[in-house]
C-alpha cells in the first residue's frame, strides 16, 4: 500500500507556532522552558526502589532470599538515592533565573537527599504501625503480609510518608510527582504536604482526597471517597486565588471517618469522634462526637430554626 | 516434580463449545467475529505518541533536547498517524457486512485521520487554556510544568480532546478505547462524545463521570466525584434502552461544580453558577445560581410543600 | 562529579534493626517471615493469561487469528495453570507452622487448581451474560466487542468471577491479589468473597465497593461509587474486630442501584427494586421498591416522627 | 549544563543531499526506494518461532510442558507463518516496476508460504538425522539434548534447512536474511542456495563458508574454517561479474573435511573421501581419497615435475 | 484481508508424528524426554551475573557506584547462585532413570554450587593475571579497563574459568551451555574441560578452538584461528567413536602460538616455544623451539627424505 | 524448599580482598578506579543510532516511512550525539590525574563530537561506494538493499568508518568499544586505527583481522579469514612490548586478497595485485603481482636455493 502524505512539515511548523505563541503569551523564558525537568518514569523507578528497600521481602523482587536482604537494600538504596539526587538537582535548577552555579545547587540537593536518607528508618517504623492498623482495622484481613501486598491504602501511605519528607525538604515537585504516581495506582489522592500521624489506615480508598494543609493525628481510620478539603479559596483583589495558607481540616487522634464523608475548611474533629458515611461537615466538632447523617441534619435544622 | 495433566484438550474443546454456543445464540456472523479488532495496546502507543507530539518537552522522552523538538514531533507524529490509520481501517471494516472493497475503506480512514491531523494544532492551543486554568484554579499548583506533568485532570482533558475529535470523525470505537485508557489511569471517565469548552479544569478528579451528550462551556471547573449523567434511560416498547439522544446536562460558561455533586438529565446550569458539594440536581438553574446542599434541600422542601 | 557517600552501611544496619524490632514485637517467626510469598507480578501474568484464554479474539494478543484460537488457548491455559499452581503452593505453605511435607501441600494445590480449571467453561458462560447485560444496559454501547474491550465494569467482573473461584477453593490470598490488580486498573473494589449472579453490570464503576459477604442476584445493575458495605464491625471483649460473619447486603434479582448509593449491613433489597443515586440505606426494602433520596428522606423523617 | 547545538538542520539536509545524490547516481526509482523492505528483527522472530515449533521442548520457552506441546506448536506456527507471509509480500513487491495488483502478489506469497509450511515435517525429520550425526560425530557430546541446545553447527543447519526452502520457493531475500542471522550467531556462513543431504554435521564451526551452488551428499562431516567456495568469478565483456552459475564444489556422501581445508570451484569430492586439515584443493578427487597436506603437496609437486 | 488457513491441525499432528517416530526410533523414554532441561536464556543470566560480581565496576551496571560495590555483589551473587542451583538440579535429574528422590538430588546440587561459590575469589585472582597478560601482550592496548571491557579473548577466558569449575564439579552440561554462550559472542570455542594456567591471553580470537583434554601452562599467548585439536578419533569395533580420552595438545608455560596454527593430538609443546602462523603440527617439540612454516616444511621434507 | 545459605558475607569480603590486592599490586589510584567508565550497552545504542541515521530506510525502524525520514534522522542524531558526548566526557576524564576542571573536559568533548557530526555526510558518501562495491563484488548479491541489510562485511565497514573518526578525534576507547561491538556481531575484527579507502568490500568476513596501522587503498576486496597483521612486536630493553609504531601492511588500490591469506609486517602490496587463498606473505610485492600458494612456495624455494 502506498504511503500516506500527512503534510508533516506543515503540521510540525504549525505546532511550533502554537508552542511559541503560548510561550510568548506567558512570557516564558525560552532558556528555562527548555531545561530538563524531573521525569515521571524516573520518579516511578525511585519510588519502587525506596518501597522495596523498606519492605524487601514483600515489595522487593519475588526471587529475593532473606540471606541477601541487606545486600539488596544497600544496592537498591544507593541506586535510588543517586537517581533521586539527579532529579532533585533538576527541580532546584528549574526555577532559577539566573541559574546559580551548578556545584552550589548540587550541594543543596545532596544535603536534602542525605537528610531524606537518614529519615528512612523512622519512616519504616511508622509504616509498621500503619500496616498493623490496617490489619486490625479490616475484618477481612488475613495477615499483615496480605495487607502489605494488597491494600491500596497501605500502598498510598507508604508513598505518602516518602513524598511528605521530600516536601518538607524543599522538593515539592518531586514530592508531588511521587504522590500522583500513587494516586494513579490507588485512586487515593493525598497531597504530599499533609501531616499524618502513626497507625493510619485508609480502607478501600478509591476517591479519598486529603488536602495540602490537613493535619491528622494517631490511629485515624478513613474509608473510601472521604474528602478532607478546603471550604473555599481565598481570592485576592484581582480575583486570583491566594496560594498557600491553612485551609484543610485538623483530625485529632482515634477519629474514624466513614465512606463518602466530606469535611471542608480549617475545622477540628475532636479526638475519638466518629463521622458517619456521606456526612457533609464544615464546622468543628468536640472530642468523642458521633456525627451521622441523621443527627447531623437534625442539628443543622435546629441551627437554622435558631437562626444560626 | 512431575508435570500435572490439566486435561487440556477437554478444557480447550469445552471452551470452544461455550464460544460457539454464544456466537450461535447471538447470531454472530463467524466471519465478522474473527475479524481483527482495534487493540488497546496499540491505541495506548498512539495516545502516548500524540500527547508527546503536543507537549514534547514535558510528555516526550526525558532525554529530548529543545534543538531536536521539531524532529521528534515529525517522527513521532508520522508513526502515530500511520498506526492510527491502521486502527481506523480495522474499526471501519469491523461492522461491514458484506465488506466493502478494502481500498475504499482505506480511503475513508485516510480522510478521517488526515482531518484529525489538521486539527492537532488547534487541540494544542485549547489544551494550553486548560493547563492555564488548572494552574490558576488550584492554590497548591506551583508551575504550569508541574500541572502538565502531575495533574490527572490535565491528563484526562488531553486525552479527551484527542478522542473527541476521533469521535466526531466517525471513529467512536477508537475514541472510546482512548477514553478508557485515560479513565483507567486517572479515574476520570469522560465519554468521548462530550463537548467541552476551553479553560476546563478538573481537580483531584477520581470518580468524575461526564456523559456522552454533555455540553460544557468555557472556564468550567469541576471537582472529584462529580457526575454529569443521564436521569433515566428511554425505553422502547420492548423495554430495551433507546440508544442515542441528548440526555446529559448542559453546563454554561464559568460554572464551578464542587466535589460529589450529581447533575442528571438534559438540564442547563446557567452561566456563572456554583453547584455545591454533594448537591443532587435534576432540574435547570438560572445564571449565577449558588446551589448548596442546604439551600437546595430547603428549596426542594418548599417545592414539595407547594406540591410541585 | 564525585560520588556521594550516603552512609549506606549505617542505613542498611539501621533498617535491619527496625525490621528485627518489628518482627520481635509481633513475635514473627523468622522462618515463616522469610518464606517466599505469592507475587503481584506473577499473579498479574496469571490473570492476563486466564482472561485471554476465556476471550482469545478480544483480550488475547492483537495478532491472534481465528484458526489458531484453540492452540492459543491450550498453550496459554497450561502456562497460566502451572504458574497458578506454584503460587497456590506458596500460599498454602506460607502459614504452616510447622510446615507439612512439601508433596502433601503440592497435592492440595493441584486438587484446587484442577477444580478451578474445570470451572473455567462455566465462568466463560456466565461472563457472556455479563457482557450482554453491559451491552443492553448502556445506551452508549455500540457493540459487544466494544463492551468487552473498553468497559472497566466488564473487566472487573471477569477478574471477580475468576478470583471468586480461587476464594472458594481455599486460596483467599491469591484471590485477593487478583482482585486488587483489578481494583487498581478499574477503580472497582469487589472483595473476592462476594457472590454475584449472572447478567451483572457495573457502569462507569469508579469508586464501587462490594464487601466480602455480599450476595447479588441475577440481572443486577450498579453505577459508579455505589457501596455495598458493612454497617459496623462486631468487636470482641478486648475491643478487637471480630473477623468473618455475614455483614454485607443481599441484593435480589433485577435490582438497579444508581450512582453514589450506600447500602450498609446485612439488609435485603427486594427483587426488582430501584435504589436512587446517593441514597443512604441501612434497612431492608421489599421487592419492587423505588427508593429515591426524596422519598427516602421523607420516610426517614416519618419514622423519626413516629419515634421509630 | 547547557544544551549543545549540533547544527542539526544543516546535518539533516546535508545527509539528505548525499542520499539524493546516491539515488540519482544509481538511477534509483524513488518510489521503489521508499518501499517497505523485509526486516531483520521481524525475520529473527520468525526464525525463532519456526525453530521452536520444530523442537518445542528444547528450543521453545523454558516453561513449556509436554502436555501443551501441540498447542504451543499450533499457536507459534500460525503466528510465524502469518508474519512470514507479510515479509514475503514485501519481498515480492519490492522489485516490481510497475507493481502488480496487491492481491495478486499476496496470492503468490500465500502459495509459497503454504508450500513452505507443508515441508516443515520433512525438515524436522531431516534435522533429526543431523542431530544424531552431531551426537555420533563428537566424542565430547553427552546427549542429543545437549547437542540440540549447544552446538552452533546444529543451530546453523536448522536455520539453513529452513532458509533453503524459502530460497527454493522464490524468496531468496528472506532466505538470505535468515541465513545471516544464523551466521552472526554461529560464525557459520551457509548460503541458502546450498543443497545439503541428511546427517550433516559441522563441528566447532566458526569460519565455515559454504557457497551458493554447493551440493553436499549424505553423512558429510565438516570442521571449523572449511571453505567450500568459488575458484574465480566469470567476468563479462565489460569486466563485470557474471552472476549465477554452478561454481562451488560437489561433496559426495560420507566425506569428512577437516578444519581449515579450502575447496574451490566446481570440483567433485568422491564418496567416502577424507580431506585433511588446511588442505587447499581446486581439483576433483575420486571416491575414498585420503588427502592430507603432506600427500597433497607431494602430489602437486609430482604434477609440477611431470609438467602438469 | 482475509485470514489464511495454513492447515494448522494437519501440520501439528504431522509434526507430532515425526517427533514420536524419532523418539521411538531412539528408544527415548517419553518420561525423560519431557523433563525440564537447563535453559540457554537462564544460563545467560547466570553468566552475566557471575561476571558482574567478579568485576562489578566494569562489567556490572553502568550506574553502579563504588560505595555500593559490595552490596551489589552480595545481591547479584545470591541471585545467580540460586538460579544456578535450580539449573544444576535440572541437569542432575535429567539423566536419572529411575529418578532418585528429589531432595537427594538437590543436596548434591547444593554441594556442587556451594563449592563453586567458594572458588570464585580464586577465579577472580587468576582472571586478574589474564587481564594483565592481555594488557602486556597487545601493543594496541591502552589500559587494563579497556582490555576488560573490549577484548573478546578476555571475555572468553572469564567464561571459561567459570564453566571449567562447573565442569569439574560434575555439571558438564551447564558448563557447556556457558561455553557456547561465550563462543557465540566471541567466536572463541574453548571446551569447558580444557585446563588453562594463569596469565593466558588470546588476541583477536575469532576461530580459536581449544579441545576438551587440552592442558595449557602459564603465560601462554594464542592468536586468532589457532586450533588445539584431536588428531583423529578412536573408533570402537562397531565403528563408533570412543568418547573421552586424552587427545588434545599439552602446551607448556610461556608458549606463543601465532594465528592459524593447527596443533593436533596429544603432543607436547615445550616450554618457551613459539609456533608460527599457519603451522600444522602433529608431533611434540622440545622447549624453546621456534617453529615457522618455512623451517617446519623443511624439517618435514627432511623427515620424508629420511624415510621417517 | 528451604533457602540455601551461600555464606554470602564471607564471599563478598573475600572478593573485596582480591580486588583490593589487585589494586594495590597495580598501584591503582582508588579514586580513578572508581570513576565511571564508558559503557558497552550505551555505545551499542549510539552505534545503532548513528547507523540508522545514515541509512534510515534500511537500518532504521521497520515502520519508518519516507516522509518522516528527515525527522527521524534529526531526532535520532541528536539523541546519539548527546549520548556520545556523555561517553566522550567519561573517556577523557578517566585517565586524568589530577582531573582538570569538568567544564574544560566537557568543552574538549563537545569539540570532538561536533567535528565528528560534521563528518557524517562524508562517511555516508564513502559508505555508498562500499555498498556498491559489495554489490558488484559478489555474484550472489541480488540488490544493494540486500547487501546493506545482510552482509556482515558491509555492517563491519559502517561501524569501522564511524569508529575510525572517533579514533582520529582523540577518543580511542570509544572507538575500540564500537569496533568490538561490530566484531562480536560480524566476526570481523578491524582495529579503529586502520585507514581504509573507498569501495572496500569484505566477503563472508568471519575471521578477518585488520591491524591498527594498516593502510588500505581504494577498491580493495578481501575474503574471510584474511589477516593483515604485525610480523613481530618490538620489545624494549626490559622485554616489554613497545606500543605504537607502524607495523601492519599497506595495501594499494584495487588489490584482491583471497580467503585465509596472512600478510604480516609493514609490507606493501602493489596496486592491482591479487593474493591467493592461504598465502603467507611477509615481504612486499610490486604492482599487479599474482601471488598464489603454488607460485609463492616455488619462489620461496628458489630464494632458499639462492641462499636468500
pLDDT of residue C256 exceeding 80, the answer is yes
Report pTM.
0.93
CB–CB of F174/F38 below 8 Å? yes
Residue B213 burial class via C-beta count within 10 angstroms: exposed 0-12, middle 13-18, buried 19 and up: buried
- pLDDT level of residue D235 (50, 70, 90 thresholds): low
The whole-angstrom separation of Cα E153 and Cα E186 is 7
Distance between CA atoms of residues B193 and C191, nearest Å = 33
pLDDT > 70: what percent of chain D? 88
Which chains form contacts with chain C, at 3 or more CB pairs under 8 Å?
A, B, D, E, F
Q: If you average pLDDT over residues F51-72, what whole number do you get?
A: 92
pLDDT tens track for E265-277: 999 999 999 999 8
Residue E235 DSSP class: B
For residue A268, the cross-strand partners are A250
The predicted structure's pLDDT at residue F193:
96
Alpha carbon distance E229, F6 (integer Å): 38
Q: Is the pLDDT confidence value at F112 over 80?
A: yes
Contacts of B74 in chain F (CB under 8 A): 68, 70-72, 74-75
Contacts of B5 in chain D (CB under 8 A): 67
The residues of C whose Cβ lies within 8 A of any Cβ of D are: 63-65, 67-68, 70-76, 78-79, 82-83
Please list every residue in chain F whose beta carbon sits closer than 8 Å to the beta carbon of residue E207.
Answer: 206-207, 225
Question: Over 60: is that where the pLDDT of E90 sits?
Answer: yes
Q: Which residues of C touch F96 (CB under 8 A)?
A: none
pLDDT, tens digit (0-9, with 9 covering 90-100), for E157-207? 999 999 999 999 999 999 999 999 999 999 999 999 999 999 999 999 999
CB-neighbour burial class of residue F174 (10 A; exposed 0-12, middle 13-18, buried 19+): buried
Work out the mean pLDDT of chain E and round it to a whole number: 90
Q: What mean pLDDT comes out for the span D144-158?
A: 94
pLDDT at E302 over 80: no
* Structure confidence by residue, pLDDT tens digits, F189-238: 999 999 999 999 999 999 999 999 999 999 999 999 999 999 876 666 66
Q: Is the pLDDT of residue A304 over 60?
A: no
pLDDT band at B274 (very low <50, low <70, confident <90, very high): very high
pLDDT in tens, B235-254: 667 666 666 689 999 999 99
Judge contact between B219 and B129, C-beta under 8 A: no
**A8:F71 CB<8 A:** yes
| CA pair distance F12, F10, nearest whole angstrom | 5
- In this predicted structure, what is the pLDDT of residue F142? 82
Mean pLDDT of C10-22: 91
Q: Which run of H or E residues covers position E264? A: strand E262-264
For the stretch E6-23, pLDDT in tens is: 988 999 999 999 988 888
* Overall average pLDDT of the F57-76 stretch: 92
C263-287, pLDDT tens digit by residue? 999 999 999 999 998 898 999 999 9
Model pLDDT, residue B308: 42
**Does the pLDDT of residue C80 top 60, yes or no?**
yes
Q: Which of A22-26, A172-176, C166-170, F268-272 has the lowest mean pLDDT?
A: A22-26
CA distance B96 to B99: 5
Alpha helix positions (H), F139-171: 144-150, 152-168
CATH architecture of F36-187: Orthogonal Bundle (1.10)
Task: Please compute the mean of the pLDDT values over residues E151-160 and round it to a whole number.
Answer: 97
Q: Mind telling me how many Å the CA of A71 is from chain F's nearest CA?
A: 9
Chain F contact partners (≥3 CB pairs within 8 A): A, B, C, D, E
Contact D3 B71 (CB under 8 A): no
Do the chains contact at C8 and E66, CB–CB below 8 Å?
A: no
Q: State how far residue C116 is from chain E, nearest Cα, in angstroms.
A: 25
Q: What is the mean pLDDT of residues F170-194?
A: 97
Contacts of B189 in chain C (CB under 8 A): 204-206, 224
Q: CB distance C34–F1 less than 8 Å?
A: no
The model's pLDDT over D24-63, given as tens digits with 9 standing for 90+, comes to 887 766 666 667 889 999 999 999 999 999 999 999 998 8
- Integer Cα distance of A66 and F5 in angstroms: 9
- Report whether pLDDT(B307) > 50: no
For residue C259, is pLDDT > 70?
Answer: yes
In tens, the pLDDT along D250-299 reads: 999 999 999 999 999 999 999 999 999 889 899 999 999 999 876 666 55
Closest residue in F to D230 (Cα) is: F139
Other Cβ atoms within 10 Å of C242 Cβ, number:
11
Residue E234 is predicted with a pLDDT of: 63
Preferred mutation among E4, E67, E69, E103 to probe C, highest tally of C CBs within 10 A: E67
Burial of C222 (0-12, 13-18, 19+ CB in 10 A): buried
- The span from the CA of E102 to the CA of E122, in Å, is 31
Give the best residue of E4, E172, E307 to mutate against chain D (max D CB count within 10 A): E4
Percent of chain E at pLDDT > 70 equals 88
Asked if B26's CB is within 8 angstroms of C144's CB, the reply is: yes
Average pLDDT score over residue span B188-212:
97
**CA–CA distances in Å: residue A13 to residues A18, B46, B74, B84, D240:** 9, 21, 9, 21, 48
Average pLDDT, chain D: 90
What is the predicted pLDDT for the residue at A307?
47
Which chains would you list as touching A if contact means 3+ CB atom pairs under 8 Å?
B, C, D, E, F
Residue F94 pLDDT: 87
CA distance A220 to A207: 17
**E194: DSSP letter:** -
- Which of D3, D34, D102 lies closest to A3 in CB terms? D34
Question: Taking 80 as the threshold, does the pLDDT of residue B304 lie above it?
Answer: no
**pLDDT digits over C103-131, tens only?**
999 999 999 999 999 999 999 999 999 99
What is the residue extent of each domain of chain C?
36-187, 207-295
Name the residue in chain E with its Cα closest to that of B32: E2
Q: What is the pLDDT of residue D150?
A: 93
In chain A, % of residues over pLDDT 90: 70
Let me know how long chain D is: 308
Percent share of chain D, pLDDT over 90: 70
Q: State the average pLDDT over residues C29-36.
A: 70
pLDDT of residue C137: 86
Q: What per-residue confidence (pLDDT) applies to C242?
A: 64
Q: What is the pLDDT of residue F132?
A: 94
Give pLDDT, residue F278. 87
* Three state DSSP letters for A19-48: HHHHHHHCCCCHHHHCCCCCCHHHHHHHHH
pLDDT of residue B142: 82
- In this predicted structure, the answer to whether residue B98 has a pLDDT above a threshold of 80 is yes
Distance of CA D38 to CAs A2, D178, F57, F58, Å? 16, 11, 11, 9
Beta strands in chain A (DSSP E): 189-190, 195-196, 201-202, 209-210, 215-216, 221-222, 227-229, 250-251, 256-257, 262-264, 268-269, 274-275, 280-281, 290-291
Chain F residues touching chain B at CB-CB below 8 Å: 63-65, 67-68, 70-76, 78-79, 82-83
Taking CA–CA distances from D72, the nearest residue in chain B reads: B8
- Lowest-pLDDT range of A37-51, A212-226, E28-42, E45-59: E28-42
**So what's the pLDDT on residue E189?**
97
* Average of per-residue pLDDT values in chain A: 90
**Where does C207-295 sit in CATH, by number?**
2.160.10.10
Q: What is the arithmetic mean of pLDDT over A125-146? A: 90
Q: Residue E308: pLDDT above 50? A: no
The highest-confidence range among A118-127, B55-64, D89-98, F33-42, by mean pLDDT, is A118-127
- Among the partner residues B1, B3, B34, nearest to E34 by beta-carbon distance: B3
pLDDT for res D303: 54
Which pLDDT score, from 0 to 100, does residue D308 have? 42
Q: Is the pLDDT of residue B32 over 80?
A: no
- Range A240-266 average pLDDT: 89
- List chain C residues with CB under 8 Å of F16: none
DSSP line for chain B: -PPP---HHHHHHHHHHHHHHHHHHTT--HHHHTS----HHHHHHHHHHHHHHHSHHHHS-TT--GGGHHHHHHHHHHHHHHHHHHHHHHHHHHT-SSPPPHHHHHHHHHHHHHHHHHHHHHHHHHHHHHHHHHHHH-TT---HHHHHHH-HHHHHHHHHHHHHHHHHTT-HHHHHHHHHHHHHHHS-EE-TT-EE-SS-EESS-TT-EE-TT-EE-TT-EE-TT-EEE-S---B-TTSPBPP-S--S-EE-TT-EE-TT-EEESS-EE-TT-EE-TT-EE-S-B-TT-EE-HHHHHHHHHHHHHTT-
Task: Name the residue with higher pLDDT: C156 or C29.
Answer: C156
Mean pLDDT of C173-194: 97
Q: What is the pLDDT of residue D278?
A: 87
Amino acid at each position: 500500500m502506498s504511503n500516506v502524505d500527512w503534510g508533516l512539515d506543515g503540521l510540525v511548523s504549525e505546532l511550533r507556532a502554537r508552542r511559541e505563541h503560548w510561550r510568548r503569551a506567558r512570557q516564558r523564558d525560552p532558556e528555562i522552558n527548555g531545561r530538563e525537568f524531573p521525569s515521571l518514569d524516573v520518579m516511578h523507578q525511585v519510588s519502587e526502589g525506596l518501597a522495596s528497600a523498606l519492605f524487601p521481602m514483600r515489595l522487593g523482587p519475588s526471587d529475593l532470599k532473606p540471606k541477601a536482604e541487606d545486600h539488596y537494600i544497600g544496592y537498591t538504596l544507593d541506586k535510588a538515592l543517586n537517581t533521586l539526587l539527579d532529579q532533585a538537582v533538576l527541580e532546584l535548577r528549574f526555577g532559577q533565573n539566573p541559574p546559580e552555579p551548578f556545584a552550589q545547587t548540587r550541594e543543596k540537593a545532596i544535603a536534602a537527599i542525605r537528610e531524606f536518607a537518614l529519615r528512612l528508618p523512622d519512616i519504616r517504623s511508622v509504616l509498621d504501625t500503619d500496616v498493623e492498623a490496617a490489619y486490625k482495622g479490616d475484618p477481612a484481613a488475613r495477615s499483615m503480609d496480605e495487607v502489605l501486598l494488597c491494600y491500596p491504602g497501605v500502598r498510598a501511605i507508604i508513598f505518602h510518608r516518602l513524598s511528605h519528607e521530600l516536601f518538607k525538604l524543599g522538593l515539592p515537585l518531586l514530592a508531588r510527582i511521587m504522590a500522583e504516581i500513587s494516586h494513579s495506582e490507588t485512586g487515593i489522592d493525598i497531597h504530599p504536604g499533609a501531616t499524618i500521624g502513626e497507625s493510619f489506615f485508609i480502607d478501600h480508598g478509591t476517591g479519598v482526597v486529603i488536602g495540602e494543609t490537613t493535619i491528622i493525628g494517631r490511629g485515624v481510620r478513613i474509608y473510601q471517597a472521604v474528602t478532607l478539603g478546603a471550604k473555599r479559596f481565598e481570592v485576592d483583589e484581582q480575583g486570583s486565588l491566594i496560594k498557600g495558607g491553612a485551609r484543610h481540616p485538623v483530625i485529632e487522634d482515634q477519629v474514624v471517618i466513614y465512606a463518602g464523608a466530606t469535611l471542608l475548611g480549617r475545622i477540628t474533629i475532636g479526638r475519638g469522634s466518629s463521622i458517619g458515611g456521606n456526612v457533609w461537615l464544615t464546622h468543628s466538632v468536640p472530642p468523642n462526637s458521633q456525627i451521622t447523617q441523621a443527627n447531623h441534619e437534625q442539628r443543622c435544622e435546629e441551627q437554622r430554626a435558631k437562626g444560626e
